[in-house]
A and B are shown apart, each in its own frame.
Chain A
Amino acid sequence: MVNKINENIYEVPIGYRMGMRVPGRLFVSEKLLKDVELGTIDQVANVATLPGIVKYSMAMPDAHLGYGFPIGGVAAFREDGGVISPGGVGFDINCGVRLLRSNLEAKTVQPLISTLIDNLFEAVPSGVGATGRLHISDHELTEAFIEGAKWAVGQGYGVKADLEHCEESGCMSGADPSQVSIRARKRGRPQLGTLGSGNHFLEIQRVEEIFDQTMAQRFGIFEGQITVMIHCGSRGAGHQICTDHLEVLSRAVHKYKIDIPDKQLACAPLGSSEAKNYFGAMVCAANYAWANRHIIAHWTREVFDKFFGDVKLELIYDVAHNVAKIEEHRVNGTLERLYVHRKGATRAFGPYRNEVPEAYRDIGQPVLIPGSMGTPSYVLCGSDKALELTFGSACHGAGRIMSRTQAKKTFTGHDVKAALSVKGIKVKATHPAMLAEEAPQVYKSSDEVVDVVHNLGIAIKVAKLMPLGVSKG
């Protein structure tokens, strides 16, 4: 049912299921394709039925079963005749990753890793039910919704230079706080400045290998260097915003007579009040997430300063991997304004796009692909090929391969922790039980996924980072 088009490109033909408007495209190797569940291909096909979809319904190399869109799903919709769907963004709006580079070498940090991770675990609230160290007013929450990371800098968290190194400068325009419910505010307010749980983490890493010296130099990365990666999102604020608007958009599909194959693909025509309201609320959550990662980075810097004196922890880049954005892309030779949905996918723009920070504009944006606790993370550089093939997108991680129920049957949290310790990786988590479901073995090999991205040319490998210590909720 899936046809090979080229090396690492497979097509789900129109006709795979009723109502497909465009074909599906899976960007996977033959080896990775074997692990792609039938349900994932069904989800790619479902997305292809949505009105106004352009070119293809796409799945990145880490694609796996999700809800609505597959995880690793990318789809773009015409402003005229297209739709916006929370199923293409997810509940954790602007779940994303940021990477900080330090002026420290691994040999300085490694002997202290255990206490360093303990201190970070204390400094950055995490875990189920965690509330932040911040006590913000409702008015301040509104400001965070509108200004994102810019608001955090104004409050003394992080520095202005950081903003240039965030996607959207950490503040996406179009926020409409009037579309955020009291319930979403109630969930989000106490949680600003918290990491969350599950696959979210704060990780200290060592630069293990450089693949492209010139690009690495531009990103300020060198072998043996210590980097810090932060992976988290918009917490309860985003989850509730999505829940609230999913309900509105579920009604909108009847009102606008849109046939959807999956209720989670509820959507509204672009230009309708329902679509505008969802977009305005989604931007609030996206900005909240940038503020959140900014605050967490600030506390991380404080801990590093306490340990090593005046350390330079500079932001390389911060990317969103669950978001819908208005972008210009060339379609059949014409530049069009599209609503690009990335659900578990990272933007990977090449050189000379205005959206890429000035510091990287002539080479392309950093693309951050986190591994799991025991596997490497990668830094890549976006390329023109991504604009041609994937609306400027790449994968966002390794991708799960084993279900949570299966993981719990196979591993215990204590075993996972001990196995990582043998590899020299210190893990601190609220409860070891959570570690079983996030064992390195439940994910695909990040090496394989990243190689497909590199070989397709949608992003170029720059550096490989190995975990030394991980703090998890």
Chain B
Amino acid sequence: MKSFEYLEHTADIKFRAYGQNIEEMMNNAALALFNAMTDTSVVQINKTWKVKLSAPDLEQLAYYWLSELVFLFETELTIYSKFNVKVHHNQEWILLAQIGGERIDPKKHAFDNEVKAVTLHEFVVNKNDVWCIQVVLDV
């Protein structure tokens, strides 16, 4: 199973991220988001952050998750590359995550793109053999 893959899109960035379970899919989607901007393999983990989100359904939870990461990236000026997501479902869907990364250093981090936002265009979460999320990012 691939962690994620980028698909053709003329103007923006489209990806699918996969997981054996919801948590793994969420982790891989986060990685695909940051890898679309920069090479996350060179990012060191010297800063960690906690995220807590809730939503009425799983798809919305996934949208909140990725949008939250764009918000944190821009306001904390940090590239995240390590994600540990837990998802619970009772009356509503809850995501708890610990994320780790490094403050943007223009000398170290080369950017291919800047993600402006996560779009809802063709945004889908589903499960066949494995869990899969499809996302189009506005860059």
Contact = CB atoms under 8 A, between A and B. Distances in A.
Interface string B106-139: 1000111110111111110000000000001011
A183 B71 contact: yes
Contacts of A66: 11-12, 121
B120 A264 contact: yes
Interface in A181-209: 183, 186-187, 196-198
Contacts of A434: 111-113
Interface residues of B, number: 33
Contact of A262 (B11, B71, B121): B121
Contacts, number: 109
B107 to A, nearest CB: 10
A243 B67 contact: yes
Interface stretch (A146-154, A234-242, A313-321, A461-469): A234-242
B111 A431 contact: yes
B74 interface: yes
Interface stretch (B2-10, B22-30, B42-50): B2-10
Interface in B46-87: 67, 70-71, 74-75, 77
Interface in A61-118: 64-68, 71, 87, 90-92
A403 B11 CA distance: 6
Contacts of B122: 67, 262
A128 interface: yes
Interface stretch (A274-282, A368-376, A404-412): A404-412
B110 A433 contact: yes
Contacts of A436: 112
Nearest to B75: A186
A183 B120 CA distance: 19
A90 B8 contact: no
Given A90-B138, A239-B117, A263 B77 contact: no
Contacts of B12: 66-67, 404
B104 interface: yes
Nearest to A92: B116
A92 B70 CA distance: 14
A400 interface: yes
Nearest to A266: B120
A67 B74 contact: no
Interface in A247-272: 250, 262-264, 266
Contacts of A68: 119, 121
A402 B8 CA distance: 9
Nearest to A430: B106
Contact of A128 (B10, B111, B123, B138): B111
Contacts of B67: 243
Contact of B11 (A71, A196, A263): A71
A263 B117 CA distance: 15
Contact of B13 (A92, A236, A404): A404
Chain B CB within 10 Å — which of A91, A183, A242 has the most? A91
Contact of B114 (A71, A198, A246, A432): A198
A400 B11 contact: yes
A196 B75 contact: no
Nearest to A473: B114
B37 interface: yes
A445 B138 CA distance: 23
B77 A129 contact: yes
B10 A243 contact: no
B120 A263 contact: yes
Contacts of A239: 70, 116-117, 138
Contacts of B13: 404-405
Contacts of A473: 114
Contacts of A406: 8
A436 B110 CA distance: 13
Interface string A393-405: 0000000111111
B117 to A, nearest CB: 4
A243 B139 contact: no
Contacts of A67: 12, 119-122, 136, 138
A224 interface: no
A127 interface: yes
Contacts of B120: 67, 246, 250, 262-264, 266
23 contacts: A64-B10, A64-B11, A67-B119, A67-B136, A90-B138, A127-B106, A128-B114, A183-B71, A187-B71, A239-B70, A242-B117, A243-B70, A243-B117, A250-B120, A263-B123, A401-B10, A403-B10, A408-B112, A431-B111, A431-B112, A433-B110, A433-B112, A434-B111
Query: A-B pairs with the 8 shortest C-beta distances?
Result: A67-B121, A263-B120, A264-B121, A67-B119, A91-B117, A129-B104, A431-B110, A128-B111
Interface of A: 37, 64-68, 71, 87, 90-92, 127-129, 183, 186-187, 196-198, 236, 239-240, 242-243, 246, 250, 262-264, 266, 400-406, 408, 430-434, 436-437, 473
Interface of B: 6, 8-13, 37-38, 67, 70-71, 74-75, 77, 104, 106, 110-114, 116-123, 136, 138-139
